[in-house]
Structure 1
Amino acid sequence: MKRVLISVMTLTMMFGIMSGKVQSVQAAATSFQVSVTSSKVTINVKGYKTSGTIYGYDANSYAKKDSLKGISKDLTNTGSFKVGSYTKGKSQTYSFDRYTKEGKDLLYSKYYLLSSSGKIIKGPVYATKITSVKKKIGFTQNTKKGLYNENSTNMSYAKDLGVSSITVNLDLASLMYVNSHPEGSIAFKSQGKTYYFDASMVANYDAMISTASKKSMNVIAIIAAWKTSDTNRFSSSLRYKSSVGSPLLGTNTSNDIGRDEYIAMMEFLANRYSKSKSKGLINTYVISNEIDFTPYFYNCKSLNTFMAEYERSLRLANLAVKKYAGDANVAVPFTHYWNGDENKLGKENSGYSLKPYQMLNWLAKTTNAQGAYDWAIAPHIYSSLNTKSNFLKDDSKRGWVNGNYKTSKQLTFTNVEILQKYLSTSALKYNGKIRFVYLTESGVSSSSNSTKAKNEQAASLAYVYLKIANLSCIKSFNYYRLQDHEAESKHHLSIGLLTTAGKKKPAYTVYKNIDTYNMRTTANKYLKYLSFYKNGKTYYSVANGKIKSYQTPMSVFSGYKWSFSFRNALKSSLKKNDPGMIYNVKASKKTKTAMTISYRKAVAATGYRIKVNGKTKVTTKKTSARITGLKSKKSYKITVQAYKTVKGKKHYGFTTSVTLKTK
């Protein structure tokens, strides 16, 4: 279709002048797309049946007839600047400078197509195609296994556990100076203005983040403004007015000053932590904390109002992050009160509570209409009562959890698979792809810390990880927490892998080995400590013969088709040279002193090693071997393990053991 240049326009704005070009062509389907390169903003519009005018708006400014404006009072039908006129039915392209003379970055602007009467034909629409300073900063994870990093001592344990990601807390409340800039503070320019950041705090973050990056661990940063001794430093423009107490302050971007201060903080972090391993890299930014407890951000009972406020902060954070790193993303945190009434179930929140299921539906619908982006989710998943060590038994009977994402009151480890089903729906996908899930605060308690409770924690953690490993939507499971907290343990919330005294629990060993070839032998020691009620009715346990392996409790609730494999939990480095699983080990041609061991061929095996009572007896390339030198009427532990030879090195896989007896 032929394109015809129809005009060259000059954009005059209250903050500067830019030149722009418009192209026009007939079109059928409607679309409105905003792209941003290092120097230009380009808007492509086509197919709308009404003529109108395209205006650029600040993120906290809205067309008068826009109902989703949060608490913003900035309403206008002319925006911050006029982009150009649109002729109905045409395909037109508008291009103009990204930065104004004052240094304002129009990456953060949104755009409306309005009729002459102010009716919204389309919009608001934000930029979705962004040329980032770097395309990729994230590491390819060797495992989904991660750790919540509370302090620098955790890193030695993180290395020992073999994790691929860590979670850190970054406090906005004391990060930036507002009314002063002490000597030695770090200057950073954003939106044409200079802001100053606390050098000592940044140095602490640098050390923590760079240590992880140097070990090729991805860093997930929780971005929130906590009430601390330095809270007075936090800008009044960024604070929401609320009479309800909360340990957190929200980030109010409904006004110009708060908006620009928030952009400055996000740009400072995104710029600093996107440069190199030595400087430290952040790949995912979790915006705020447990937002369904609305006082943690902005105490509000209206879903539309709250979500408009939160999404503005989420969107601006995403734009800031994408400005510097194309593969970095933002994530939405919430509690396990999925679609239930928290005021009836938990009564943990002193203010208004919203339902995460409804919040995510709102977020998907709205962001897809206003410019889709790859926000992820970061739910805090525990059990219905997070003090339970054998939580499956309690969850499956309590009635707050089921296998239907539309009706389940809670989202726990017992029914976490509903996330896979939910995020697989077309309405929730981002550009046809399933959204990522980051478990940044999730763990299993050892309750009273009795020997039995510790063993139940170990069994439950093995179950949890094997389940997570078989759900493709979950990218990281950053276990919370490394060590028991004394105040929490007094109330039987003993989630640590270590006791308060620093002693390793059985769960530590399970977590260390759960993505290695030792996973089954390590985890199977604790399988007998699991039990549950199938669909809330039939009791399952190892003792009554209904639990055969960790695969059995994957389906506490019916309705999800599992494609379960222990291999899915293996580290990627092991999968690469994995020889395959050993199945159907059995004996034939038994005598008093010998037997023939046979087994099914492993898919990629070069050969097999057979051990008798822990000692290697035979190495063979065949799927059977004669074992001699045995004693009459004696039981032997026969272990078969496949290996794959790569460049002269043998890579051994899973072991399969059976007990067999001679004649």
Structure 2
Amino acid sequence: MRLLRFLLLFSAAAHAAPVPLKLQRFSDPSPAFKETAGTVEIHGPMSIRATPATPPGPADLVLEMEYFCAGGVPTFAALPGPPFEAKTARMLPEIGHSETWTTYTARIATKDKPLPSDWKELRLDFPIPAQGVLQVRKIHLRPEQPGEFDAIDSHPSAASTPKALQAYLDRKFPASIDKVSVGKDLVRIEGKTGGETGNLHLADIPMDIVLGDSRSWQTLVEVKPQADGSFTIDVPRRRPRDGFDYDRLTSRWQLVRKSAEACAPISHARYAEWVECRSPELPAAKPKNKKGLGGWHRGKIPDELEQLGISAVTVNLIVNSYVSLNPGAETIPFQWQGRTYYAREKNLAAMDATLLEAQKHGVMVSVILLLVNPAKSAEPAVKLMGHPDAVRQGTYAMPNVTSPEGIALYGGILNFMAERWSRPDGKYGRVHHWIIHNEVDAGWVWTNAGDKPAIVYLDLYQRSMRLMDLIARQYDPNARPFISLTHHWAHHGAKYWHGSKRLVDLLVEFTRAEGDFPWAMAYHPYPQNLFNPRTWEDEQATFSFDSHKITPKNLEVLDAYMKQPALLYKGKVRPVHLSENGFNSKDYSPKQLEDQAAGMALAWKKMAALSSIESWQYHNWIDNRKEGGLRIGLRKFPDEPGDPSGKKPIWHLYRAFATSGEDAAAEPYLKTIGISTWEHVLHRGTIR
């Protein structure tokens, strides 16, 4: 059996040298346990030996590793030995569902409960589900760091409490702000006092100020209503704020009654719904079909967009990499809210080239905005832009939308990019839509802001959505911000997660209170088990609004939910893009490749019948060995022996979609699913 060496960061003092571990199976070698490029891949339940190369010391021990595991692993045992006895077992917390490399830490010993003095190795009993795969790298033991297992503060000073937020959303105020319009030089606020009289004022509340903050009332404009209680007030678009030139584009406005003691709100606050646009005639994207590609890369298989007939792509964009606080040899200065920042020319040029290539092929581009986690970086711009409560468990972070400096930096680079990539001449290419972060219902992993109740988390997130919306519509009247969600619908899916339905419902509550905006949905309806492409077998996908998951099997649920009156925008259904989805082939055998293609055939036939769904971006384009054992690509691994990046059957099927050859290409998979016509996969009944 080959042994895999990992770093073991263990010491009795902080400066001691690391102690390596050797990992191996207890039983004979098996393809269920293998090493690839420094990563151990474990298929199904298994016990693993973890042996230190030198004797560990007496310090408190923490097990830490990076892992990738779709579906997660339940609570598991770590047994010191030999002998390995149940009485000395340490039950460690579950390994959560993760579709990216995620850090896992757990105590295996403390001063009060040390490991036996003569232990030589650990036995790790992983109860991995039969079809599951756990990938592990960089596993080590180390001393416990002060405070690392303390409870996370869910209610920092820069956030409102759940109780206060819910009370605000539920409150019936007598007065109302009915419309806010932002012109080139003026902001117009219209509303009704609802019979209220007395010392009435409009409060100009910058986006970064949270509910309950006394700074909400720092800038007041007197209101003198008409006899019927209505009022219309024009104010300059810009005003001084803390020495800077503040743009009221992002303010919300609230009617208050001022007294000698305090100000009392008599309406909800409201954001702008109309923004003057530089290019109101800029045409909207008009994809020729619903066929898209996720995570597309320019220059990699150059003719692929044309060959597959792709009409839409998503492109990842790490916001922090485009901006600096200080000038440099390859930076461009720009201003926002009276502050000067610097855009990085090299990164801009690379994105320009990608967008120009997409533009050449006439495809719709949706950029996914991602932020480096400040818990993992010391870079000043990252620390300023990222949410201060983010913890290391997050791959990316929520922006710091409740700090004047943080939101100014974030808004500044968003404004720079939106202006650059919405030009009528298309000089730098075009971004049509903006996907705001990734899978925010699983924000603990993908858009981290610490451990927050759902309503507190959504209050932060909807500010990021609104900021992008208000900025983008200055340059493109058709641009939309998209909320990005996993397939976990009415069930939260994992610890610290919120569930897609819960966040959508909260977003509707916020828009009802503070003014609607044209947000849309970027949903990821993977099969229930990411490793099993036979989505027609998904038992957690039911035809109810309370379904645990929305997968290709029950896409009708998402369509029906979005068509409810409360979800409409100006009477129309919001666009739904299925912006990240794919089907796994457990290997490259004919049967597994057949099941993979059958799942896609079912999904396409479902989607084609649902009017709210505008696009399906297939992910992953090409199999990636760093995706936890998944093979969800249209093509094989780039380093696959004998057939690098080879086309799978699903590639040929995908190419046939939206062409005259679609039915013939899909027909063989009816037998795989066990049906005689695609009509049998369509749900025609009532969903509620």
Equivalent residues in 2 for 1:619-630 (5 A)? none
Counterpart in 1 of 2:483?
332
Instruction: Give the aligned residue type for 2:383.
Output: S
Counterpart in 2 of 1:216?
362
Q: Partners in 2 of 1:324 and 1:362 — Cα distance?
A: 28
Q: Deviations over 1:302-325 (max 9, x none)?
A: 122111111111111111111111
Residues 317 and 440 of structure 1: CA distance in aligned 2, closer, same or farther (over 3 Å): same
Counterpart in 1 of 2:251?
109
Counterpart in 2 of 1:402?
542
Report the CA distance between 1:47 and its aligned residue.
5.2
SS at match of 2:371: strand
Report the CA distance between 1:166 and its aligned residue.
0.7
Report the CA distance between 1:99 and its aligned residue.
2.6
Counterpart in 1 of 2:666?
523
Counterpart in 2 of 1:4?
none
Residues 1:513 and 2:656 aligned together:
yes
Equivalent residues in 2 for 1:575-594 (5 A)? none
Counterpart in 1 of 2:338?
192
Report the CA distance between 1:288 and its aligned residue.
1.0
Report the CA distance between 1:332 and its aligned residue.
0.6
Contact 2:577 2:614 in 1 (8 A): yes
Counterpart in 2 of 1:61?
209
Q: Partners in 2 of 1:231 and 1:516 — Cα distance?
A: 51
Equivalent residues in 2 for 1:222-261 (5 A)? 222-226=368-372, 232=379, 234-239=381-386, 240-261=388-409
Contact 1:173 1:227 in 2 (8 A): no
Contact 2:314 2:365 in 1 (8 A): yes
Report the CA distance between 1:237 and its aligned residue.
2.6
Counterpart in 2 of 1:495?
632
Instruction: Give the aligned residue type for 1:498.
Output: R
Report the CA distance between 1:244 and its aligned residue.
4.7
Residues 96 and 154 of structure 1: CA distance in aligned 2, closer, same or farther (over 3 Å): farther
Instruction: Give the aligned residue type for 1:225.
Output: L
Report the CA distance between 1:95 and its aligned residue.
1.0
Residues 54 and 484 of structure 1: CA distance in aligned 2, closer, same or farther (over 3 Å): same
Instruction: Give the aligned residue type for 1:127.
Output: A
Q: Partners in 1 of 2:468 and 2:222 — Cα distance?
A: 24
Report the CA distance between 1:363 and its aligned residue.
0.3
Residues 304 and 89 of structure 1: CA distance in aligned 2, closer, same or farther (over 3 Å): farther
Q: Deviations over 1:401-426 (max 9, x none)?
A: 21011x10111111111111111111
Counterpart in 1 of 2:432?
283
Q: Partners in 1 of 2:378 and 2:361 — Cα distance?
A: 33
- Residue 453 (structure 2) aligned to one of 298, 302, 305: 302
Instruction: Give the aligned residue type for 2:665.
Output: T
Residues 236 and 108 of structure 1: CA distance in aligned 2, closer, same or farther (over 3 Å): same
Contact 1:223 1:287 in 2 (8 A): yes
Counterpart in 1 of 2:533?
389
SS at match of 1:151: coil
Q: Partners in 1 of 2:551 and 2:528 — Cα distance?
A: 6
Contact 1:59 1:109 in 2 (8 A): yes
Contact 2:544 2:687 in 1 (8 A): no
Q: Partners in 2 of 1:480 and 1:248 — Cα distance?
A: 19
Contact 1:484 1:495 in 2 (8 A): yes
Q: Partners in 2 of 1:365 and 1:154 — Cα distance?
A: 45
SS at match of 1:418: helix
Q: Partners in 1 of 2:432 and 2:378 — Cα distance?
A: 27
Report the CA distance between 1:341 and its aligned residue.
3.6
Q: Partners in 2 of 1:319 and 1:83 — Cα distance?
A: 25
- Residue 181 (structure 2) aligned to one of 35, 41, 56: 35
Contact 2:330 2:346 in 1 (8 A): no
Residues 1:133 and 2:278 aligned together:
yes
Q: Deviations over 1:177-236 (max 9, x none)?
A: 12x221120222211222101111111110001110122211000001135998725332
Residues 194 and 115 of structure 1: CA distance in aligned 2, closer, same or farther (over 3 Å): same
Q: Partners in 2 of 1:85 and 1:224 — Cα distance?
A: 44
Contact 2:177 2:254 in 1 (8 A): no
SS at match of 2:223: strand
Residues 83 and 177 of structure 1: CA distance in aligned 2, closer, same or farther (over 3 Å): farther
Instruction: Give the aligned residue type for 1:43.
Output: I
Q: Deviations over 1:560-618 (max 9, x none)?
A: 59xxxxxxxxxxxxxxxxxxxxxxxxxxxxxxxxxxxxxxxxxxxxxxxxxxxxxxxxx
Residues 1:269 and 2:414 aligned together:
no
Contact 2:177 2:253 in 1 (8 A): no
SS at match of 1:115: strand
Counterpart in 1 of 2:613?
474
Instruction: Give the aligned residue type for 1:287.
Output: I
Contact 1:54 1:86 in 2 (8 A): no
Contact 1:55 1:84 in 2 (8 A): no
Report the CA distance between 1:100 and its aligned residue.
3.3
Report the CA distance between 1:385 and its aligned residue.
0.1
Counterpart in 1 of 2:125?
none
Residues 150 and 217 of structure 1: CA distance in aligned 2, closer, same or farther (over 3 Å): closer
Q: Deviations over 1:505-536 (max 9, x none)?
A: 11111111110111111111222111xxxxxx
Residues 1:162 and 2:301 aligned together:
no
Counterpart in 1 of 2:515?
371
Report the CA distance between 1:81 and its aligned residue.
4.1
Counterpart in 2 of 1:621?
none
Length-normalised TM-score, structure 2: 0.68
Higher mean Cα deviation, 108-117 or 197-206?
Answer: 108-117
Counterpart in 2 of 1:46?
192
Q: Partners in 2 of 1:84 and 1:125 — Cα distance?
A: 16
Q: Partners in 2 of 1:516 and 1:388 — Cα distance?
A: 28
Q: Deviations over 1:450-481 (max 9, x none)?
A: 10111122222122112112111112111111
Counterpart in 2 of 1:10?
none
SS at match of 2:204: strand
Residues 77 and 485 of structure 1: CA distance in aligned 2, closer, same or farther (over 3 Å): closer
Contact 2:527 2:534 in 1 (8 A): no
Instruction: Give the aligned residue type for 2:615.
Output: S
Report the CA distance between 1:31 and its aligned residue.
5.2
Q: Partners in 1 of 2:678 and 2:586 — Cα distance?
A: 22
- Residue 473 (structure 2) aligned to one of 314, 322, 330: 322
Where does structure 1 differ by over 3 angstroms across 4 or more consecutive aligned residues? 28-31, 83-89, 100-103, 226-231, 557-561
SS at match of 2:266: strand
Q: Partners in 2 of 1:105 and 1:270 — Cα distance?
A: 16
Equivalent residues in 2 for 1:641-656 (5 A)? none
Contact 1:62 1:79 in 2 (8 A): no
Equivalent residues in 2 for 1:338-377 (5 A)? 338-343=489-494, 352-377=496-521
Q: Partners in 2 of 1:63 and 1:230 — Cα distance?
A: 30
Q: Partners in 2 of 1:259 and 1:198 — Cα distance?
A: 19
RMSD: 2.3
Residues 88 and 377 of structure 1: CA distance in aligned 2, closer, same or farther (over 3 Å): farther
Instruction: Give the aligned residue type for 1:303.
Output: A
Greater radius of gyration (CA):
1
SS at match of 2:659: coil
Contact 2:521 2:575 in 1 (8 A): yes
Instruction: Give the aligned residue type for 1:483.
Output: I
Report the CA distance between 1:87 and its aligned residue.
6.3
Report the CA distance between 1:338 and its aligned residue.
0.7
Contact 1:137 1:281 in 2 (8 A): no
SS at match of 2:441: coil
Instruction: Give the aligned residue type for 2:671.
Output: K
Q: Partners in 1 of 2:485 and 2:612 — Cα distance?
A: 17
Instruction: Give the aligned residue type for 2:419.
Output: N
Report the CA distance between 1:294 and its aligned residue.
2.8
